[in-house]
Amino acid sequence: MTVDLSLYLVTDSTPAILGNGDLCKVVEESLKGGVTVVQYRDKTSDTGVLVETAKKLHAITQRYNVPLLINDRVDVALASGAEGVHLGQDDMDIGTAKKLLKEDAIIGISASSIEEAVTAVENGADYLGIGTTFATPTKTNTKSIIGTAGVKKILDALSHLDRSVGTVAIGGINTRNVQRVIYQSAAPTKHLDGVAIVSAIMAAEDPESAAKELKGLITTRPTFAVDVLAPRKNEEELLLARIPEVVQRVASTHPLVHNMINFVVVNFVANMALAAGISPIMSPYGDEAKDLAVHNGALLINMGTLTSTSIPEYLKALTAYNTNGNPVVLDPVGVGATNIRRNAVTTLLAGGYFTLIKGNEREIKEVFQRSGGESQRGVDSGPTTMDDHAKATLVRDLARRERNIVLLTGAVDYLSDGNRVIAVENGHEILGRATGTGCAIGTISGAYLVAYPEDKLLAVLAGLVMYEIAAENAVASKDRVRGSGSFVPTFLDEIDIIRGKAEKGDHSWFEKRA
Ligand code: 3NM
Ligand code: MG
């Protein structure tokens, strides 16, 4: 039997979630809002109450032509006439359940690993509940938190089986992250059929509008989606040819960038932004993001001077920009240095979508491990410096997994959208001796992503090439630059000069160099 799994409600009758609401009323409201399948989940009530409640719920779900499934209890499903059951790994085995239930009964299975998922499909499961996606107070005795990367691995494994099976992700899913969960967990040939939700509907003040909002988000393409463009013949040349036009667009539209940036570089980055034609706001205050995110701007989160209070502020801002569909850049400064920073990146990756992740080799390696749980490629055990091929592979794999853009900076920069990989050799080693020159790339990238959303890889590339050509120009003016001290103001001048030319449509700054 096929079920529309798109918005799967799992009930919870505990006071922490249902409060003093009425279960039947909440379920009916959620059905009005567009819930497509209901699972009655009650871990504590006596059998008599379970059967009675299941019958009441079934009378309601039937009116909406939506299947009712019972958690754990095959007997309650039989007694109430429900359409099927949902079984955890420790519940009745699927073979026995199949024997007891009617032939067309729906049987769903919880799976948290590839092995569990594959076994359930082999045993004839109709759909899988995959999780726990994110840590959730609703169920604290979960086996493992697998994140979108874990869901994606399972979907990928399922895509190689002969029999196809329905899938929903479960655990900590709500209006703020639902689009990202569906988007980022998609494997090349298999994506989620829906999401299973408890608290975001059951505990909502207005379950009907919560369901309606979720349904809307599930059925629309997220605004942050990156179009993965197939590489064309002469891809690099085609991209290079468009750089001046992208730089011109930034110079003439002055995109806003909200910088949550470390205090070491804040002044330099603000000056750099102005020189490049960007309107910077430097604010570590997460609540301000609500007002700022309504403008067509970008957010930069740079963890360089992380403090005990930073993370909730980052998350508030991340949510606000994600909600508005605006680009967000993560600069995970020094993520490998401490456990606090490692955990911060894990929290941030679980908390929202980053359009661009930018860092040096060590940082990107570390993020790769954070984003995939345990590393299967042993990026930590390899040589301390990666060769060109390894770097190109790393940025491509991380971009593919996160479905975003990844930039690894160094003597040669590597940039990927998960499909195309571009190496940029411009720049100068002196950049490594002036604080903030790396951080400013985050701000510049954010502005370029705002100005040129049609090809996000090209947007970041254009900002980077402009920046590095300016650095080269500065170094070339030997009369003005004697070392890293005099380099900084000269570099700002050169950025300013390019911006001035680009704004007037004068592309000579690029043609000389490219
Ligand atoms: N099962 P919420 S997580 C019922 O991982 C349940 O199998 C899970 O609740 C699993 O939507 C979970 O409120 C609770 O986070 C999900
Ligand atoms: Mg169970």
Interface predicted TM-score (ipTM): 0.96
Q: Which pairs with CB-CB distance under 8 Å and at least 24 residues apart come from 111-119?
A: 111/154, 112/142, 112/143, 112/144, 112/146, 112/150, 113/144, 113/154, 114/153, 114/154, 114/157, 116/89, 117/154, 117/157, 117/158, 118/157, 118/158, 118/161
Which tokens in the block code for residue 139? Answer: 């169920």
Q: Which residues are catalytic?
A: 439
Atom number, ligand 1, closest to the C-alpha of residue 133: 5
Scanning 261-385, the segments in alpha helix (DSSP H) are 266-275, 289-292, 310-323, 339-351, 361-371
Work out whether strand 297-302 and strand 256-260 pair parallel, antiparallel, or are unpaired: parallel
> What does the DSSP 8-state code read for residue 228?
-
User: Within 6 Å (CB) of ligand 1, which residues are found?
Assistant: 10, 110, 129, 131-132, 136, 138-139, 142, 170-173, 197-200
Ligand nearest the Cα atom of residue 18: 1
Which tokens in the block code for residue 36? Answer: 């497509």
Q: How far does residue 371's CA lie from ligand 1's centre (Å)?
A: 21
Note whether 326 and 293 are within 8 A (CB).
yes
CB atoms within 10 A of CB 511: 9
Note whether 72 and 89 are within 8 A (CB).
no
CB atoms within 10 A of CB 230: 7
Atom number, ligand 1, closest to the C-alpha of residue 143: 5
Q: What residues pair up with 414 in beta bridges, in sequence order?
A: 408, 423
The pLDDT of residue 512 is 65
- From 89, 112, 142, mutation site for ligand 1 pocket: most ligand atoms within 8 A of C-beta: 142
Which tokens in the block code for residue 182? Answer: 């569906």
Q: How far does residue 6's CA lie from ligand 2's centre (Å)?
A: 21
Q: How far does residue 42's CA lie from ligand 2's centre (Å)?
A: 10
CA nearest ligand 1 atom 4, residue: 139
Which residues lie near ion ligand 2 (Cβ < 5 Å)?
72, 88, 91
CATH 3.40.47.10 fits 235-511, yes or no: no
The pLDDT of residue 276 is 98
DSSP string, 277-299: T-EEEE---GGGHHHHTTSSEEE
Which tokens in the block code for residue 282? Answer: 């430097």
Which tokens in the block code for residue 71? Answer: 């958690």
> What does the DSSP 8-state code read for residue 190?
B
Which of 9, 423, 431 lies closest to 203 in space, CA to CA?
9
The pLDDT of residue 378 is 37
Note whether 223 and 180 are within 8 A (CB).
no
Atom number, ligand 1, closest to the C-alpha of residue 172: 15
Domain residue limits, the chain: 7-218, 235-511
The pLDDT of residue 145 is 85
Query: At 59, which helix (H) or strand (E)?
Result: helix 47-63
CA nearest ligand 1 atom 15, residue: 172
Q: How far does residue 41's CA lie from ligand 2's centre (Å)?
A: 9
Architecture of domain 7-218: Alpha-Beta Barrel (3.20)
115-153, pLDDT tens digit by residue?
A: 999 999 999 999 999 999 988 899 988 888 888 989 999
Q: How far does residue 137's CA lie from ligand 1's centre (Å)?
A: 9
Atom number, ligand 1, closest to the C-alpha of residue 136: 15
> What does the DSSP 8-state code read for residue 1?
-
Query: For tokens 């975003």, what's the residue?
Result: 404
Atom number, ligand 1, closest to the C-alpha of residue 173: 11
The pLDDT of residue 380 is 40
Walk along the chain (514 residues) in steps of 10 and give the mean pLDDT of each run: 91 95 97 98 97 98 98 98 97 96 97 97 97 90 86 96 96 90 92 97 97 96 78 89 97 97 96 98 96 93 95 94 90 94 91 94 93 49 71 95 94 94 90 92 98 95 96 91 94 97 95 65
Taking every pair of C-alpha atoms in the chain, what is the biggest distance, in angstroms? 89
Q: How far does residue 494's CA lie from ligand 2's centre (Å)?
A: 64
CA nearest ligand 1 atom 16, residue: 171
- From 26, 43, 71, 170, mutation site for ligand 1 pocket: most ligand atoms within 8 A of C-beta: 170
On the question of a cis peptide bond just before residue 167, with omega within 30 degrees of 0, the verdict is no
